[in-house]
Structure 1
Amino acid sequence: MSNLLAAATVAAEGANNPLLPHTSELVVGGIAFAIVLFFGLRFIPKIQKTLAERTEAIEGGLNKAEEAQKQAQAALASYQAQLAEARQEASRQREKAKEEGAVIAAQIKEEAQAEARRIVEQAHAQIEADRQQALASLRAEIGTLSVDLAGRVIGESLEDSARQSRVVDRFLEELEGRAGRQEQITS
């Protein structure tokens, strides 16, 4: 019974049910909905068009960005290839410079050795010339001294130049012969 009573009270209060809106609110709400629907249907194509344009712009931007990224990657790959090629070229240039340096150093060394040989040969020639000059001077000095000595020993004057020359030559030959024999003995 208490359930029936509760149901009867709910039916009596049904006219003031807070869950059911008033009739005036339903009318105003319906008119407002119709106005929003009218303007919404009228502007929805424009909004959709704007959204479609924005979508296309965004997709186009993404496509352009992807294309730009591909180009950047291609440029990077090209740059890296050029850099590698430049490094190889620099390496070849260094090797070539080393080889040329070695060739130049060898040429300079060879020229220096040739110059040294020339200087040594020139020094030998100068020494030989000085030796010959000293020998000639010594011969003349020895000749004069030996003629004077021989003249004193013999007691006669050896003023005759042909005679002097023969005596000096014979004396020097004897000295050279003795020197040659002494060198053979010491060797």
Structure 2
Amino acid sequence: MKVTQGLFEFNWNFLFAIITFLVLFGILKHFFFEKVHNYMEARSKSVQDTLDHASKTSRKAEKKLKAYEKQIAGAEEEGRQIIQDARKEARVQADRIVDEANEEAHQAVMRSQQEIERQQQAARRQLRREVGDLAVEAAGRIMEKEITPEDHKEIIDKVLKDAGEKK
């Protein structure tokens, strides 16, 4: 005996299995799938919001980084400018100090030259007085006696010799 089975046979077990499947699917859909789906949607939205917030924060941080880099570059440039200005000021002060020192040296030289000239004039006046005194003394001796040209020469030599000893 041969038992054959067809491709599709109607079976009451099959019908109860399909009805059980549909009831179970309806119950799961109503109580479980909707809640899981809503939870997944909320979680997806939360993750997307977090990513958007992180992206915004990253852009803000990037902008601030660029601003800080600009400020640092500006500060470096300002520092170079301050150093350059300080060098210029130092050169100006050094030149001024050198000019003042040169002026003081020039004035000291001028004062020294004036002092030398005053001393030379005083020495000339002194010399004139002494020469005048010597001339008067020589004339007085000449007047004391009558002299010959040899005596005259001898008196002058003696006056000059006395003047040399006085110095």
| Alignment TM class, shorter chain as reference | 0.5 to 0.7
Deviation at 1:70, TM superposition (A): 1.2
Deviations 1:132-176 (A, max 9, x none): 122222332343244324433x1439xxxxxxxxxxxxxxxxxxx
- Matched residue, 1:156: 144
Q: How does 1:1-187 map to 2 (within 5 A)?
A: 34=24, 38=27, 41-152=30-141, 154-156=142-144
Deviations 1:111-141 (A, max 9, x none): 2111111111011101111221222223323
Deviation at 1:69, TM superposition (A): 0.8
Q: Where does the alignment leave 5 or more consecutive residues of structure 2 unmatched? A: 1-16, 146-167
Deviations 1:30-83 (A, max 9, x none): 79x94x973563133223222211211111111111111111111111111121
Give structure 1 regions of 4+ aligned residues with deviation exceeding 6 angstroms: none
Deviations 1:92-115 (A, max 9, x none): 222222122212211221121111
Letter in 1 for 2:95: A
- CA distance in structure 1 between the aligned counterparts of 2:130 and 2:34, rounded to whole angstroms: 138
Q: Where does the alignment leave 5 or more consecutive residues of structure 1 unmatched? A: 1-26, 158-187
- CA distance in structure 1 between the aligned counterparts of 2:50 and 2:41, rounded to whole angstroms: 14
Letter in 2 for 1:123: S
TM-score if structure 2 supplies the norm length?
A: 0.64
TM-score if structure 1 supplies the norm length?
A: 0.58
- CA distance in structure 1 between the aligned counterparts of 2:69 and 2:144, rounded to whole angstroms: 108
RMSD of aligned C-alpha atoms? Answer: 3.2
Letter in 2 for 1:156: E
